[in-house]
């Protein structure tokens, strides 16, 4: 590819309100926290921003409320070069909010998140219909599940007709309809999402996730029309499930985990960029793993998402040799 890839993202904007504590209280108990802060996020906006910070040409479509959070949520993507001119502002509706409790110990950080969708759930097919005639100009369409299903279904259908690959990050976990799955080029569930979407168990043995379970889940998704199944495994990396084998891409470890919020979004955004510039799946997944590793080492959602130069620096420091890093020069 001789130009920067163009990526179209349809998804959510969510303001994260984050309380950090050393211990999450049980029901009926109060504990003192350590810190409180706010950070813009939302799965769609996070992924769009990550794509932009890695050098892609990104257009983001979504919906915010006519409130202070709505104004704040657009500032960071806009500053990074994301085209948010088509984002809809709905009057009398609150912007999306994520209530994040971050439990931080000496070596790890775990989050618990409650999302109030707000304006994200009010986006309509008519408000997105403008892209139908333009969607063929994009190299990738990126979707999640924090906007109405009928919006995702319509956009994926237009992309399929135009021959544009569709990546669906099926989060938050829910059961998906077969029509949407039939339009998906790349599906990127985590373990829980993969199991929920197929109603199949995903157990573990002494070697990790059971390969037979992974193959059965992938086969169920292939039967519905999904072309590529990539399962993210948190600290264990990711797995590409193919008919005759499973390829594991290891997690890139960092000395300190500050906050796992947006790590999955960072991974998916980087994967989309990598595939769009022509990297193989394995190469793009390695690029995504290095990107997400930086994200977990920082606090917040959008504030933690790294730039291309930061990712390249980490890959050089870790002496990654899976592909010539000059393949990413088109992003600069």
Residue 158 lies in a domain: yes
Q: State the Cα–Cα distance between residues 181 and 168, nearest whole angstrom.
A: 9
- For residue 312, give the DSSP letter: H
pLDDT at 300: 78
Residue 163 backbone phi and psi in degrees, to 5 = 75, 25
How is residue 148 written in tokens? 């109405």
Instruction: Read off the pLDDT of residues 212-270 as tens digits, 9 standing for 90 and up.
Output: 999 999 999 999 999 999 999 888 889 999 988 999 999 999 988 888 878 999 999 99
Q: Of all residues in the chain, what percent carry a pLDDT higher than 70?
A: 100
Decide if 103 is inside a domain.
no
Residue 105, in any domain of the structure: no
Query: Is the model's pTM score more than 0.95?
Result: no
User: Which pLDDT score, from 0 to 100, does residue 214 have?
Assistant: 93
Spell 225-234 as b/e; 16+ CB within 10 A means b.
ebebbbbbbe
Q: Is position 262 within any domain?
A: yes
Decide if 325 is inside a domain. Answer: yes
Calculate mean pLDDT across residues 306-326: 97
Would you call 265 a catalytic residue per the annotation?
yes
- The DSSP element (H or E) to which 197 belongs, if any, is helix 191-198
* Cβ partners under 8 Å of residue 212, min gap 6: none
Q: What is the DSSP string of 115-133?
A: EE-GGGGG--HHHHGGGGG
Domain that holds residue 200: 6-12+42-92+120-331
Note the pLDDT tens digit of each residue in 15-73: 989 899 999 888 899 999 999 989 899 999 999 999 999 999 999 999 999 999 999 99
Q: Which of these is catalytic: 83, 212, 265, 324?
A: 265
In a domain, 170, yes or no: yes
How many domains does one find in the chain?
A: 1
Please check whether residue 87 lies inside any domain of the structure. Answer: yes
CATH of the domain at 260: 3.40.1190.20
The answer to the question of residue 174 being in a domain is: yes
Q: What average pLDDT score do residues 119-142 get? A: 98
The pLDDT assigned to 170 comes to: 96
């Amino acid at each position: 590819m001789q130009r920067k890839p163009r990526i179209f993202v349809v998804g959510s904007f969510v303001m994260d309100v984050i309380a950090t504590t050393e211990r999450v209280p049980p029901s009926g108990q109060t504990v003192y926290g350590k810190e409180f802060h706010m950070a813009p996020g939302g799965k769609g906006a996070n992924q769009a921003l990550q794509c932009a910070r890695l050098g892609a040409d990104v257009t983001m479509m979504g919906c915010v409320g006519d409130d202070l959070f709505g104004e704040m949520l657009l500032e960071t993507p806009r500053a990074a070069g994301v085209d948010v001119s088509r984002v809809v502002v709905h009057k009398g509706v609150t912007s999306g909010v994520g209530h994040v409790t971050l439990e931080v110990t000496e070596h790890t950080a775990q989050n618990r998140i409650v999302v109030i969708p707000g304006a994200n759930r009010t986006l309509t097919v008519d408000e997105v219909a403008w892209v139908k005639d333009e969607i063929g100009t994009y190299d990738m369409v990126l979707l999640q599940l924090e906007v109405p299903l009928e919006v995702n279904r319509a956009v994926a259908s237009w992309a399929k007709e135009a021959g544009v690959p569709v990546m669906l990050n099926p989060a938050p976990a829910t059961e998906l309809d077969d029509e949407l799955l039939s339009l998906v080029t790349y599906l990127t569930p985590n373990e829980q999402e993969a199991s929920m979407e197929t109603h199949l168990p995903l157990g573990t043995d002494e070697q990790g996730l059971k390969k037979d379970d992974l193959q059965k889940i992938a086969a169920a998704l292939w039967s519905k029309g999904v072309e590529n199944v990539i399962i993210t495994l948190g600290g264990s990396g990711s797995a590409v499930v193919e008919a005759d084998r499973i390829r594991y891409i290891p997690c890139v470890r960092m000395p300190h985990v500050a906050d796992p919020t947006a790590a999955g979004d960072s991974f998916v955004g980087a994967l989309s960029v990598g595939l769009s510039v022509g990297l193989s799946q394995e190469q793009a997944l390695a690029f995504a793993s290095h990107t997400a590793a930086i994200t977990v080492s920082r606090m917040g959602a959008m504030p933690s998402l790294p730039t291309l130069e930061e990712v390249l620096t980490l890959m050089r420091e870790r002496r990654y040799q899976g592909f010539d890093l000059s393949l990413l020069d088109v992003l600069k």
